[in-house]
A and B are shown apart, each in its own frame.
Chain A
Amino acid sequence: MITSFPKLLSATVITLKLLSLSLFFGLFIGLLFAILRLNKNIFINKFAYGYSYVFRGTPLLVQIFIIYFGLGQIEYFRSTFLWVIFKEPYWCAIIAFALNTGAYTSEILRSAFQTIKPGFIEAGKSLGIPSKIIFYKIQIPIAIRQSLPAYGNEIILMLKGTSLASTVTLMDLTGVAKYIISTTFKPIEVFIVAGSIYLFITFVVHNIIKYLEKKYSY
């Protein structure tokens, strides 16, 4: 239990890297698709809806398997330049995670945009502020504040989701825990340590979100 701790801690770095990179890309994807969802054009709107429907409606494990094992089986795909990225399990995992969390984030942001009171926008308009500035300076900040509790939840879900990286050969926290178990045959002890590390990260994330909520409350 004690000897496995340093190994698990160094694997935590990979878990955190996976988490932060997927959240980073996922936030951009989410914001983009949230804006597309609010578009009046029915095709753009339905396309964005379809994306979030597919990625929220299928298990993350299936998504990561399709991206890692599935795409790798297509011979034509292997001859394209994309293979340089998709050859690496690390990037496959990040792409799968980012697309998945992007779908959830787009829903969180969309609902946040829609709950903004029309009065805020009308107030901006009556002051003669251009609608672009209203969007960036009024709607986006309010939407981010509105979505903080739900987004905090999404971060925690994604943290646990990163454990699936071990299924595509990555040595993240879960991957290393499994490796240690395969040599020590002591699943309970090792998984307790690994679980506690996940719990601690959740604890930190939870409190950061709580702090931000308080700070930006109005």
Chain B
Amino acid sequence: MNIFKKTIFSVLASLLIIGNVSAADKIKIGTEGAYPPWNSKDASGKLIGFEVELAWSLCRYMGRQCEIVEQDWDGMIPALIMRKFDAIMAGMSITAERQKAISFSQGYADEVAQLAVMKGSSLEGMDTPSGINLSLGGSDVKSALKTLTAALAGKTVCVQTATIHQNFLDSGDVGSVNVRTYKTQDEVNLDLTSGRCDAALAAAVAFTDYAEKSGKPVVLVGPTFSGGAFGNGVGVGIRQDDTELLKAFNKAIDKARKNGDISRIATKWFGFDASM
């Protein structure tokens, strides 16, 4: 088995190089640039959105130089751990699962999730409360989940990969729906309009933003979701050993909140005050 040995050696040799970028004093902030209005890109390719503007504001409060870099969503946490950047601001909700791998600052904004369908779908007009908080539980939540389970049985629900929305569908709270995962929210929107998805789940504002910009008849159905698998607001993701930076971000968020900066920027991008 000489060939086999040779193959193994060449594989091992090729694995020895791993990049290690360390910024001396500039803080590098990673964002996705594909999840409006949280973060996106304008026609010229410049990063824009709530978090991009908030990031500049927080950097001013910290008195540090910053650089905002783009990173695909599904590699966001690995890229942080591998020091490609120092902080994540990408609409990332604070969840227990993610906290096993990274630390989070206090939350700076919160936004509910909701199902979306195309107008005329049989899922329209579901009889549920307007919003449920999974952390609270209770009979209201239980009966709403039951209604959803019955309505979604055998349906294909599309979500962006590695999101709280996928976690929720995988958790079995709404039975065993057929979950289809996509790399970006844009692709979820495309397949929702093409009819490959019976419904899609994401931040409610991601759908209203898409419906507004594309003119497609996308409508929100069912209750808004919060708590439980949906986490406790969106915060800055930071490496666990980077306690100094975590403190700095927490302080900056405190100041920005007190001065009304967060709610001002949030209102500008969301159309309502999503700050927390």
Residues of A that sit less than 8 Å from B by CB: 69, 72-73, 78, 87, 89, 167, 169, 178-179, 181-183, 185-188, 192, 195-196, 199, 203
Inter-subunit contact B15/A192 (CB<8 Å)? yes
Which A residue's beta carbon lies closest to that of B179?
A169
Which B residue's beta carbon lies closest to that of A71?
B194
Complexed CA–CA distance, A89 and B161 (Å): 16
B65 to chain A, nearest CB (A): 28
Inter-subunit contact A169/B181 (CB<8 Å)? yes
Inter-subunit contact A169/B162 (CB<8 Å)? no
B156 to chain A, nearest CB (A): 10
Inter-subunit contact B11/A199 (CB<8 Å)? yes
Inter-subunit contact B190/A203 (CB<8 Å)? no
Is B101 engaged at the interface, CB distance under 8 Å to the other chain? yes
Complexed CA–CA distance, A36 and B15 (Å): 45
| Contact status of A72 and B190, CB under 8 A, knowing A87-B195, A169-B181, A203-B7 | yes
Is B129 engaged at the interface, CB distance under 8 Å to the other chain? no
Inter-subunit contact B74/A178 (CB<8 Å)? yes
A-B contact pairs, 16 of them (CB 8 A): A69-B187, A69-B191, A69-B194, A72-B195, A72-B196, A73-B190, A89-B180, A169-B180, A178-B74, A179-B162, A181-B75, A187-B78, A188-B18, A192-B15, A196-B11, A203-B3
Which B residue's beta carbon lies closest to that of A166?
B183
Residues of B that sit less than 8 Å from A by CB: 3-4, 7, 11, 15, 18, 74-75, 77-78, 81, 97, 101-102, 158, 161-162, 180-183, 187, 190-191, 193-196
Report the tally of A-B residue pairs with Cβ distances under 8 A. Answer: 55
B180 to chain A, nearest CB (A): 5
Complexed CA–CA distance, A196 and B191 (Å): 33
| Contact status of A181 and B187, CB under 8 A, knowing A192-B15, A196-B11 | no
Which B residue's beta carbon lies closest to that of A78?
B195
A72 to chain B, nearest CB (A): 3
Which A residues are CB-close (under 8 A) to B77?
Answer: 185
Inter-subunit contact A169/B182 (CB<8 Å)? yes
Which A residue's beta carbon lies closest to that of B186?
A69
Which B residues are CB-close (under 8 A) to A195?
Answer: 11
Which B residue's beta carbon lies closest to that of A192?
B15
Complexed CA–CA distance, A69 and B187 (Å): 8
Which A residues are CB-close (under 8 A) to B11?
Answer: 195-196, 199
Inter-subunit contact B97/A183 (CB<8 Å)? yes
Complexed CA–CA distance, A186 and B127 (Å): 41
Complexed CA–CA distance, A72 and B190 (Å): 8
Complexed CA–CA distance, A152 and B15 (Å): 26
Other A-B contacts than A69-B187, A179-B161, 15 sampled, CB-CB below 8 A, are A72-B190, A72-B195, A72-B196, A89-B180, A169-B182, A181-B74, A181-B75, A182-B161, A183-B162, A185-B81, A187-B75, A188-B15, A188-B18, A196-B11, A199-B11
B235 to chain A, nearest CB (A): 17
Complexed CA–CA distance, A179 and B74 (Å): 9
Complexed CA–CA distance, A178 and B118 (Å): 29
Complexed CA–CA distance, A192 and B18 (Å): 14
Inter-subunit contact B193/A167 (CB<8 Å)? no
Complexed CA–CA distance, A178 and B162 (Å): 9
Which A residue's beta carbon lies closest to that of B193?
A73
| Ranked 5 nearest A-B pairs via Cβ | A182-B162, A72-B194, A185-B101, A187-B78, A185-B77
